[in-house]
Amino acid sequence: MRKSLAILFLLSFVFAGAQTEEQKLTTTIKEFHQALVNKNTVSINQQTDKTLSYGHSNGWVETKEDVIKDLETGFIVYHSYKEDSLNITMNGSMANARFVADISATLRGNTTTFHLKVLEVWVKKGKRWLLFARQAVK
């Protein structure tokens, strides 16, 4: 009886600790946004697809190389990035994430806080989720 209870107890921890794909993607999304704030270009490089299309609310679109270069040079500086109402729709190895974001950033010396609606498209390659495309609107 004690062995059975011990096994059930251990299994409950194993299953409780297992994350769903949606939970893993939620964590990845938040880590990516914090990587922008922290200028962690190594992390950004690892979390984005080589064909990334990163669209801003003003129509400006960056490639993966542009995002990294603009962070490294200080062309754009993210001060904070907060997601609200995150809604993820999974479809096999693809997912879209929609949320409202409050983003404080400095671009060309002008600091502004943006309240945006954002769509991000993520693809799963191997065990990792990579940002494939992003578009924001006011």
From residue 44, give the alpha-carbon distance in Å to each of 15, 65, 132.
30, 10, 12
Q: Residue 3: inside a domain, yes or no?
A: no
Q: Residue 2: inside a domain, yes or no?
A: no
46-72 per-position pLDDT tens digit: 999 999 999 999 999 999 999 999 999
Q: Residue 5: inside a domain, yes or no?
A: no
Burial class (CB in 10 A: 0-12, 13-18, 19+), 92: exposed
With contact defined as beta carbons under 8 Å apart, do 122 and 109 qualify?
no
Q: Residue 77: inside a domain, yes or no?
A: yes
Overall number of domains in the chain: 1
Q: Which domain holds residue 36?
A: 21-137
Q: Residue 66: inside a domain, yes or no?
A: yes
* pTM of the complete model: 0.85
The SS3 of residue 94 is strand
Which letter does DSSP use for residue 138 in this model? Answer: -
81-130 per-position pLDDT tens digit: 999 999 999 999 999 999 999 999 999 889 999 999 999 999 999 999 99
Q: Residue 96: inside a domain, yes or no?
A: yes
Q: What is the pLDDT of residue 18?
A: 60
Q: Residue 1: inside a domain, yes or no?
A: no
CATH classification of the domain holding 117: 3.10.450.50
pLDDT band of 4, cuts 50, 70, 90: low
Q: Residue 91: inside a domain, yes or no?
A: yes
